[in-house]
Homo-oligomer: A and B are copies of this chain.
Amino acid sequence: MEDLPAQPSSPRGLTYGVAASQVLGLAVITMTGAWLGQYQGGLAWENASLQFNVHPLCMVIGLVFLQGDALLVYRVFRNESKRSTKVLHGLLHALALIVALVGLIAVFQSHQKKGYPDMYSLHSWCGITAFGLYFVQWLLGLGFFLFPGASFALRSRYKPQHVFFGGFLLTLSIATALLGILELLLFRIKDSYSSFAPEGVLANILGLLLVAFGAVVGYVLTREEWKRPPVAEELALSMDFKNLTDESSLASPR
């Protein structure tokens, strides 16, 4: 590390914010695992009850932690090349999608084995909305920003929408996780929940940690002076695949 050339440093507040988000994110995953292991019998794919437990763990890893980290890469690697950062952003979202898909298969298969009905609760409605839109957003991101087709003007028009929906989908995913926690508690420990059973308290704290993760990620992303500084290289990279006949759009990217 000492041999690396000096490079522009990140603002200290940004470093603390990102560190806090990672501590909270890992705490969320650990507590979800602890809850499922300690109180819900652990994980297994073949057993219908334990297969269900794969669902919350995968959704929290995929649609909360990995999705959040995918949004943070433009802040964490704000001095790296835009192209590498973009590829990392796309890869983290792809990983999040795959992990979330495993989580979805787990709950549908588990319900099917047990003969439980699907898709009737507010949790499931919000969840399928979040997952469906997340997949669409990933495809649009790939089409607009990684494939060569889209012009610079089109990319500039779509980018604010992509950024807004990224934040919205992380928020909706976290809200869906909160609904999932409450639903599971009211199904499994309804009576002892109201007398502050340790499992209920643990899961409530997990819920607040999820909120805190979302708040810290949201804070880091919206802080104006922590945004990626525009560097000379960026315009050139944005132009990489640019349709060369479209140069007039350069002067006014909006």
Contact = CB atoms under 8 A, between A and B. Distances in A.
A30 interface: no
Interface string A121-139: 1110110010000000000
Main secondary structure of the interface of A (DSSP, over half): helix
A114 interface: no
A207 B168 contact: no
B126 A208 contact: yes
B203 A122 contact: yes
Nearest to A182: B122
Interface in A139-180: 160, 164, 167-168, 171-172, 174-175, 178-179
A107 B203 CA distance: 23
Interface stretch (A46-54, A58-66, A211-219, A236-244): A211-219
Report which residue of A129, A174, A179, A187 has the largest number of chain B beta carbons within 10 angstroms of its beta carbon: A179
Contact of A204 (B116, B121, B160, B207): B121
Contact of A122 (B126, B129, B204, B223): B204
A120 interface: yes
A210 B126 CA distance: 11
A190 to B, nearest CB: 8
A168 B218 contact: yes
B181 A178 contact: no
A39 interface: no
In the A-B complex, the 8 residue pairs with the smallest Cβ-Cβ separation, listed nearest first, are: A175-B175, A122-B207, A186-B186, A117-B194, A122-B182, A122-B204, A125-B204, A120-B194
Given A120-B195, A182-B183, 14 more contacts: A117-B195, A121-B182, A122-B203, A125-B204, A125-B208, A126-B208, A126-B211, A160-B224, A164-B218, A168-B219, A175-B211, A178-B179, A179-B179, A183-B186
